[in-house]
Structure formats: C-alpha cells, structure tokens
Chain A
Amino acid sequence: DAGVTQSPTHLIKTRGQHVTLRCSPISGHKSVSWYQQVLGQGPQFIFQYYEKEERGRGNFPDRFSARQFPNYSSELNVNALLLGDSALYLCASSLFTSGTIYEQYFGPGTRLTVT
C-alpha cells in the first residue's frame, strides 16, 4: 500500500502570496493532521481533520486554513505568507478514534521557502 503522499515536494513563494499544500492519506485512513516543522525544531500541530470536519486546531493564526475532501485527502492553505512561514509542512494520516491512542503515519513533507 502507498504511504502518505504530499505535493509539491518543494515550493518557493514570495511574501504576501498564498500557498496550497496537498496531502493524500493512506487508504482507509479517515483522519489527516497537519504540522509545521521549522528548521531545528519539533513539529508544531496545526490542524486535525476527521470525516471532513475540523477536530483539533493548534495555536496558529487565521491565515492558516485547511479542508478535507470526501476522498479524505486534504489541503492546507496559507494566506499572506510571511518569512517565518518557511518550514517543512508535514501531513499525517491515522485511523483516528476519539478517546483512544492512534498511530500517525507521516508523509515526507513539503518544504516551503518564503522569500
């Protein structure tokens, strides 16, 4: 089975622009989470989606938004890009069940550079 896939692999944008990152979960997984990993730091939780609904949100500004589609793939959108948004954006999928532990499977990430 294919793992979590993300596109594009790399992206260069200019300050003020908008970006859309895409993620396809493992077949059968209905939950997708997004993380931002700034160089030299641990991943920071941005969003979790399950069955097309937002189930969790980290401490990120409203410039960050996401959605999940009926096929469980997901998009992360970032508006009005800042230099500080430069990071590796990771997507993870899981068989999420509220109140229980669940394993997350991570994709290789999208490297976003804002100039």
Chain B
Amino acid sequence: AQSVTQLGSHVSVSEGALVLLRCNYSSSVPPYLFWYVQYPNQGLQLLLKYTSAATLVKGINGFEAEFKKSETSFHLTKPSAHMSDAAEYFCAAQTPTGNQFYFGTGTSLTVIP
C-alpha cells in the first residue's frame, strides 16, 4: 500500500532562513507527488507537483521540490522564509491509476521574526 511520511510535525525557521520540509513515499512504483499548503480554517492549495518530466520542480511562492527515486523522497525547500509562509504543509501521493490519493500527516511551519 502506498504511504507518505513527513518527518517533523513542527519546523521553526527564522525569517530569511532556508526552509526544508521532508517527505518520503513508499511504493515500488513511483507515484505522482504533490505538496499542498493549508492556512488556518482554509482548504488546501497546491504548491507544486511532480510529473516525471523533471526531478526538480518549481512551484508557487518560491517553493521547489526535488524528486529522488533512490531515496524515495520529495523534500520541499525555499531559500528564504517569509512570515507569510507560516502554515501547515502536506505532502501527497496519487497512485498511477489515479483513483487513490494519500496525504502525509503534515508539517507545521513557524517563521520567527
């Protein structure tokens, strides 16, 4: 069965520092992978998606993620954190058949002024 693991339920960074949020997936067949952001009392917004066209994926708001098949990872990064980046971040996987979707447990990002 597919699963998505996010290491670190809470991450704190200083404003302007590097953001690194970790995600690993388990599957013999690499799924389609996504990162979503959720602000308080709101739905989820897509940050970026991995489609196998390129291992380094650029998303909105300066975020990017690198797919590493050998490590079964899809970590999210941003060179310089902004206060507005404080939110809950979810890594997710879609099965190749497209009829199952799995989310990680989420990482809460705090940005310290």
Question: Are both chains from one complex?
Answer: yes
A104 engages B101 (CB within 8 Å): yes
| Number of interface residues, chain B, beta carbon within 8 A | 26
Q: Cβ of B104: which chain A residues have Cβ within 8 Å of it?
A: 42
A43 engages B42 (CB within 8 Å): no
Q: Cβ of B102: which chain A residues have Cβ within 8 Å of it?
A: 45
B43 within 8 A of partner (CB): yes
CB distance from A54 to the nearest CB of B (A): 9
Q: Which of A43, A48, A105 contacts B90 (CB 8 A)?
A: A43
B43 engages A55 (CB within 8 Å): no
B18 within 8 A of partner (CB): no
B45 within 8 A of partner (CB): yes
Q: Which of A35, A41, A101 contacts B49 (CB 8 A)?
A: A101
Knowing A101-B32, A101-B51, A102-B94 are in contact, say whether A45-B44 is a contact too (CB < 8 A): no
Interface string of A33-61 (1 = CB under 8 A from B): 10100001111110010000001101000
B43 engages A107 (CB within 8 Å): yes
A106 engages B45 (CB within 8 Å): yes
Interface string of B30-57 (1 = CB under 8 A from A): 0010001000011111100101000000
B97 engages A101 (CB within 8 Å): no
A4 engages B43 (CB within 8 Å): yes
Q: Which 3 pairs of residues, A with B, have the shortest CB-CB distance? A: A56-B99, A42-B103, A106-B43
- Residues of B near any A CB (own CB < 8 A): 4, 6, 32, 36, 41-46, 49, 51, 90, 92, 94, 96-106
26 contacts between A and B (CB under 8 A): A33-B101, A35-B101, A42-B6, A42-B103, A42-B104, A43-B90, A43-B103, A45-B102, A56-B98, A56-B99, A90-B43, A96-B98, A97-B98, A98-B97, A98-B99, A99-B96, A99-B97, A100-B98, A101-B49, A101-B94, A102-B98, A103-B49, A104-B101, A106-B43, A106-B44, A108-B43
